[in-house]
Amino acid sequence: MKFSSFGKKFTKNSGILQLMDDLGKALASDKPINMLGGGNPAVIRSVNTVFQDTLIKIANDRHALESMANYSTPQGDAKFIATLVDFFNRHYGWGLTADNIVLTNGSQNGFFYLFNLFAGHFDDGEKAILLPLASEYVGYAEAHIDDTHFLSIPPIIEEINHDGEEGFFKYRVDFDKLENLPELTNGKIGAICCSRPTNPTGNVLTDKEMARLDRLAKKYNIPLIIDNAYGAPFPNIIHTQATLNWDTQTILCFSLSKIGLPGTRTGIM
């Protein structure tokens, strides 16, 4: 069989493909395993008990069957979206409506859509996704339909003390280089994207850094995409001060996988 250019690109090996393949094969083996990487959530028995009890309640609710036995809109399940609108507005007061939220079959697919919406071939030339701090999530690689459209900036690595002990360091955005990028001023950047906390380093961009990235996105009228797969408000694996903000220039991305439900394949944007 002959594949198209698209087919050839998406049948070759990639970082995320190898990562998920390793996780799946490990879980299917008969050997004892300890999941130490790959973003696979830890098995917490008390949490799994809550999930199991909830599933039983859902199975006994006729409305759950109605939801599964009917099509949702392309945007996603309307009741779940309404629940998310209520949740975010209750916790953050953002004034969201259902029009602000879309569900995807996994956050990985969500980033596929976003990266191909805002980077690639345009009528006025090529545009890239700007990663303000590298290293970044391996799953972003190979997400573009044609070629690779990323531009990244190496971080400033600052040696720090933690609880009075030496030997620690902090990644910081090199704003001197970032704000003077020719690609920003000449319109070659389609969006700014960062994970918070950063995968795989665990670095948490500070509120001041996020505010500065927000101003930069507004200056050049491009979206600021924030990957909250491990961040606030769920599962909130952040052990420092971090404020979650949203406005119409910001795209926040969430996943149910890191709260312990990767098999649901649910992404929220």
> How many alpha carbons lie under 13 Å from residue 53 in its C-beta half-sphere?
6
Report the distance separating Cα 227 and Cα 104, nearest Å. 14
Residues 69-85 have a mean pLDDT of 92
If one compares 231 and 11, the residue with the highest pLDDT of the two is 231
Residue 150: pLDDT band with limits 50, 70, 90: very high
Q: Tell me what pLDDT residue 36 has.
A: 66
Q: Tell me what pLDDT residue 39 has.
A: 66
Q: Tell me what pLDDT residue 38 has.
A: 66
Chain centroid, CA 129 distance in Å: 14
Q: Tokens 């505010």, residue? A: 211
Report the distance separating Cα 217 and Cα 191, nearest Å. 8
The 10s digit of each residue's pLDDT in 209-266 is: 999 999 999 999 999 999 999 999 999 989 899 999 999 999 999 999 888 888 888 9
Backbone angles phi and psi of 149, in degrees to 5? -125, 75
Q: Report the SS3 class of residue 224.
A: strand
Q: Tell me what pLDDT residue 43 has.
A: 80
Backbone angles phi and psi of 138, in degrees to 5? -65, -25
The 10s digit of each residue's pLDDT in 81-137 is: 999 999 999 999 999 999 999 999 989 899 999 999 999 999 989 999 999 999 898
Beta bridge partners of 121: 126
Decide: pTM greater than 0.85.
yes
Report the distance separating Cα 179 and Cα 216, nearest Å. 8
Q: Report the SS3 class of residue 181.
A: coil
Report the distance separating Cα 189 and Cα 19, nearest Å. 28
Residue 37: pLDDT band with limits 50, 70, 90: low
Residue 14 has pLDDT above 80, yes or no: no
Give the sign of the dihedral formed by CA 26, CA 27, CA 30, CA 32: positive
Quote the mean pLDDT of the chain: 90
Q: Tell me what pLDDT residue 6 has.
A: 82
Burial class of 28 by CB neighbour count within 10 A (0 to 12, 13 to 18, 19+): exposed
Helical spans, DSSP H, in the chain: 5-11, 15-28, 45-59, 62-68, 78-92, 107-118, 175-178, 182-185, 207-219
Q: Tell me what pLDDT residue 88 has.
A: 98
CB-CB contact of 113 with 104 (8 Å): yes
Residue 207 has pLDDT above 80, yes or no: yes
> Nearest Cα to 193, choosing from 262, 261, 107?
107
